[in-house]
Amino acid sequence: MAVIMQFAGNERGGWVRLLSVGEPLPRAVWWLIAARAVNRLGAFSLPFLTVLIAAQYAASAAVAGLVSAAFGLATVPSRLVGGRLSDRLGPRRTIVVGLAGCAVAQLGIAAANTLVVTVIFVVLLGLVFELYEPPSQALIADAVTAPARVRAYSLLNAALAAAGMGAGLIAASLGRWDLRWLFVADAVTCLICALVVQRVLPGDPPRAGRAPRQTHHVAPWRDSTLMALLVSGTLFALVYLQIMITLPLSMAHRGLRPADAGLLFTTSALTIVLGQPLLRFKPLVTLSTPAAFATGYTLLALGLAGYGAAHSLSGYSAPTAVWSLGDLVLMGRVYALVADLAPAHGTGRYMAVYGTSWGIAGILAPLAGTQLLQYTGAAMLWLSMSGACLTLALTQPFLARAVAARASLQAARASTVVNAEK
C-alpha cells in the first residue's frame, strides 16, 4: 500500500512521470486512482464464483451460470442508483457506501454454507457492486479538461493493471488453498479503499443532499449517440466478461487448474504495465480515436482466437499478451467519448447509463459462455468472442467519428452564442 501511496503522491517519479505527460492531474484524481488500485488487489474473486458454486455445492455449469447471471442482473439498477446517489449524496459518500456494501456481501459469500444463502449474498453484491463506479468516473471527468480525459482514464487502468499483477498471484495462491479466501481478501481491500476515500478525498458539497436543477434536464436515455455507444459497449463487456468469468471454467474443461487463470490475469496486467512506454511512440501518440478502436479490437480478436487453439498453460500465455496489448490501446477512450457527450452537470448520469452495459453483459455473459462451453466446446466459445471483436473493430470507429462531429457542432454553437452576446 505504501508503494501505491507513493505512486499517487509523487508525480515526478518513475511510471508517474511517464504517464503524466501533459497538464498535471488534480491531487484528488491521484488519490482516487491509488484507492482503486488497493481495491484491485483483491478483485479476482468474481472470476471464480462459478467455480466455487460448482465445486462447493456440486452444481452444474448451467446452474453456476444462472447464479452469475443473477449477479449481473442486480448490477443494472446498482449502476443507475450510483449515478443518482452521486448527485444527491455526493461522490465521496456514494463511493464509501458502495465499497462497504461490497465488503459485507463478499464476507457473506465466504461464510455461506448453503447454495441459497450464497445466492442471497451474490445478489446483494450485485446490488452494491456498481454504486461507486459512476461517481468515480464522473469525478475524474469533471476534474480534468477534455484533452486530458483519455490520459486520466488510461492512468487509472494502468494503476489497476499494476495492482492486478499482485491480485492474480493472490488468486492463484489462495485459490489453490480455498476459493472462499478470495472473497475474504476482496472484502478487506474494499474496506481499505473505502477508508482511503473517506480520509483523503475532498468532502462532498454542502448541497449534495439535493440534486442540482440542471440535472433535471439531463436525458441520457434519449441520446441516440449514447444508446449506440451502449450497444457497442455491451458487446465489448460481453466479450471481456467471458475472460473474467468463463476462462477458469474453460481451462478446467481442458484439464488445467482453474486457479491458474490467476496467472494469466497476472500476465495480462504485466503486459499492460510494461506496455505503457509504447503509448509514447509517435505512431500511437498520433493515432486517431477511430484508428485506435480498430487496432485495439483487432488485437483482442487475435488473442481470443489464440485461446481457441490453446491446450496448455503456456499456450494460453501468448494470446493473453496479444489481447492485453489491444486492451492497452483501447484504455480510457470509450469513457472519454461518453464524457464528451455528457452535458454540463450530467456526467454522472451519462456514465451510469453507459455503465449499464456491464450489468446487461453480466446477465448474458455467464449464460452464453457456459452454454457455449457445454454444448460447443472451448474452441467455439473463443472463436465466437473473436468474431464479436472483429465486429467492434468495424463499427466502433464510426461511433467515434459521430461523437467528434457532435462535439464540433456544439463548440461551433457555443462560439456563435458568445459572439452574439458580444
pLDDT, tens digit (0-9, with 9 covering 90-100), for 285-305 = 778 889 999 999 999 999 999
**In terms of pLDDT, which residue wins out, 1 or 220?**
220
Which SS3 state, helix, strand or coil, does residue 422 take? coil
Q: Is 327 helix (H, G, I), strand (E, B) or coil?
A: helix
Give 326's pLDDT tier (boundaries 50, 70, 90): very high
Q: Which residue has the higher pLDDT, 3 or 295?
A: 295
Instruction: Report whether pLDDT(320) > 80.
Output: yes
- The pLDDT of 223-228, averaged and rounded, is 90
Query: Domains plus CATH for the chain?
Result: 23-203+220-413 (1.20.1250.20)
Higher pLDDT, 212 or 393: 393
* Confidence class for position 23, pLDDT limits 50, 70, 90: low
Residue 322's pLDDT band (boundaries 50, 70, 90)?
A: very high
Q: Is the pLDDT of residue 13 over 50?
A: no
Specify the pLDDT at position 371: 87
Position 3 scores a pLDDT of 32
Average pLDDT on 182-197 reads 86
* CA 348, 16, 148, 357 torsion-angle sign: negative
Q: Which of 8-12, 15-19, 37-41, 129-133 is least confident?
A: 8-12
pLDDT value, residue 22:
52
Q: Which grid cell sits at 370?
A: 457456459
Q: What is the pLDDT of residue 419?
A: 55
Is residue 191 a contact partner of residue 96, using CB atoms and an 8 Å limit? Answer: no
Per-residue pLDDT for 87 more than 50? yes
State the pLDDT at residue 412. Answer: 62
Least confident of 85-99, 213-227, 235-249, 270-284: 213-227
- pLDDT band at 11, cuts 50/70/90? very low
pLDDT over 60 at 14, yes or no? no
Of 112-116, 237-241, 273-277, 370-374, the poorest mean pLDDT is in 273-277
pLDDT given at position 347: 75
Helices then strands (H, E): number in the chain?
A: 19, 0
pLDDT of the residue at 394: 94
Which residue matches cell numbers 498535471?
24
The 10s digit of each residue's pLDDT in 89-127 is: 778 888 899 999 999 999 999 898 888 999 999 999 989
Helix (H) or strand (E) holding 250: helix 247-253
The whole-number average pLDDT for the span 119-143 is: 85
Q: What is the pLDDT of residue 18?
A: 39
| Mean pLDDT score across all residues of the chain | 80
Q: Which residues contact 111 (CB under 8 A, 6 or more apart)?
A: none
More confident residue, 142 or 100: 100
Cα–Cα distances in angstroms (integers) from residue 239 to residues 184, 260, 269, in the given order: 27, 20, 18
Q: How far is the C-alpha of 47 from the C-alpha of 245, rounded, in Å?
A: 4
**Candidate ranges 6-10, 67-71, 159-163; pick with highest mean pLDDT:** 67-71
Q: Per residue in 151-189, pLDDT tens? A: 778 778 777 777 766 766 676 676 667 778 888 888 888
pLDDT at 168: 66
CB 208 within 8 Å of CB 90:
yes
Ranges 21-35, 153-167, 211-225, 329-343, most confident: 329-343
Per-residue confidence (pLDDT) for residue 139, from 0 to 100: 79
Backbone angles phi, psi at 359, to 5 degrees: -70, -45
Q: Which residue has the higher pLDDT, 303 or 15?
A: 303
pLDDT score, position 415: 57
* pLDDT of residue 317 exceeding 90: yes
More confident residue, 107 or 67: 107
Indicate left, alpha or beta for 212 from its phi (over 0: left) and psi (-120 to 50: alpha). Answer: beta
**pLDDT at residue 1, rounded to an integer:** 32
In the three-class reduction of DSSP (H, G, I as helix; E, B as strand; rest coil), residue 72 is classed as: helix
Q: How confident is the model at residue 416 (pLDDT cuts 50, 70, 90)?
A: low
More confident residue, 142 or 396: 396
